[in-house]
Structure 1
């Protein structure tokens, strides 16, 4: 449930850009930031869904928002969207790189185009948006929030392209954090565990088509609203790393220090191969 009263004014009137903002964690975070008084720029692929969400924000939360159709994998599309954000709001205080896709197929069987598409959205999408927004973020000493994954700490079977894209995000944004140290801009990497979103339902398979099979059983699943609340609280504290994985800390330590035992005991379960 969303909270009714918000005493904190940190994000009041701040401009927050959220990619992939019409569903899942992105939508939950849009609603949470709207409740905190932020002005929203929502980027997604479906203009109808964008228009519907903007109306909902205005009617129910009295929030100022624009919805921009944008394919984050296309740098020109991203540049046009960011220009419109700057024209409308005058600057950007927070960029949330949330847009992402996944796949479920073995490395050997997966078409090269699937690897390229996953990297184009998950990695280059975040790169494009950050490049386009960085000047304004530096000017306003804002924040960059990047949605990574528990796969940044533990491998997941049959998701080699997805895992690679998340590792790439850590390499890029850990480096960026050091390069802009002292600028006043915070970079926060967020690593949720399995969350009840459409990401798994719309997973690509080996030939690049969308899966027709139901999501694999993976145990405990977090609610997008809970993840959004944790991200909001992390942003308030300007955290560098936020690990929200529902794969507990013992499993993460096992993966790092006892990889053979992890592969034998836990990897099949967290990959959805065992209940």
Structure 2
């Protein structure tokens, strides 16, 4: 039986990924900051098979907690086969108005935490010849108004793991980068405003809203096929192509579509 560890597993895409992994026969280690909801999620899955569900409360920005998690995993009778870096946070605020602690928070959750988890757990993944799935964003490839910090973090995430993939492929470790567009998940509901408080205005978006369940299924299909990158819908693929071929046109279209962000 293979084991997967999923961050941000209690809600949104993380919960959909947890259910999908469980349905595929994985032993699932659910981690999240929300201890109460995490326990409820674990109990839900345990009704089917209690031996394949483990939950651990985890703040991904806490380096000591990550070290403790790695030591705990080393003491277990099973190997870690897959790490899913899903936990994330975003903001909706113009760059010039955003306070630095907001940028730091977004970078810490969306870039530093996945990097630390991956590097700390890499020895175990090399031993099992396992893999890493990172939930990036189209914002990692293309600029999105009102998301300067988020775009920066997701761009850094992609670049780091593109490099790491090349470095660890010789050990049989596979890395999948996932680049979704707009998902119907709590990440936008919980978006930070310029001052770190909840964002007051509704989000702008382009393309079709995806469901986390549909994306979760596509993610595991792509991973099992050893794909390196997943653009889960035609809009995401087209937008990434447009940004590369005609960046000025892309930016003009984005400014029109996200014009309301400029008023915030």
Matches within 5 A, 1:5-20: 13-20=1-8
Matched, 1:84 2:84: no
Distance change (3 Å), C-alpha of 1:111 and 1:173: same
Segment of structure 1 superposing worse, 234-243 or 259-268: 259-268
**In 2 relative to 1, CA 54–125 (structure 1 residues): closer, same or farther, beyond 3 Å?**
same
TM-score (norm 1): 0.89
What is the deviation of 1:248?
4.7
Q: Are 1:34 and 1:61, in contact at CA under 8 Å, matched by a contact in 2?
A: no
Unaligned regions of 5+ residues in structure 2, if any?
Answer: none
Do the aligned partners of residues 220 and 270 (structure 1) sit closer, same or farther apart at CA in structure 2, a change above 3 Å counting? farther
Corresponding position: 1:68 with 2:59: no
Higher helix proportion = 2
Give the structure 2 partner of residue 186 of structure 1: 174
Asked if 1:49 is matched to 2:49, the reply is: no
Structure 1 position 98 matched with structure 2 position 86: yes
Shift of 1:109: 0.6
Alignment length, in residue pairs?
262
Q: State whether residues 111 and 153 of structure 2, in contact with CA within 8 Å, keep that contact through their aligned partners in structure 1.
A: yes
| Cα distance in 2, alignment partners of residues 45 and 20 from structure 1 | 7
1:146 to 134, 158, 165: 134
The separation in 2 between residues aligned to 1:271 and 1:85, in whole angstroms, is 48
CA change 1:194–1:14 in 2 (3 A) is: same
CA contact (8 A) 2:3 2:81 kept: yes
Cα distance in structure 2, aligned partners of 1:63 and 1:273: 48
Are the counterparts in 1 of residues 140 and 153 from structure 2 also a CA contact under 8 Å? no
RMSD of aligned Cα (Å): 1.9
Task: Determine if contact 2:182/2:205 at 8 Å carries over to the other structure.
Answer: no
Gaps of 5+ in 1: 1-12
- TM-score w.r.t. the length of structure 2 is 0.93
- The answer for the alignment partner of 1:244 in structure 2 is 232
C-alpha distance in 2 between matches for 1:204 and 1:245: 26
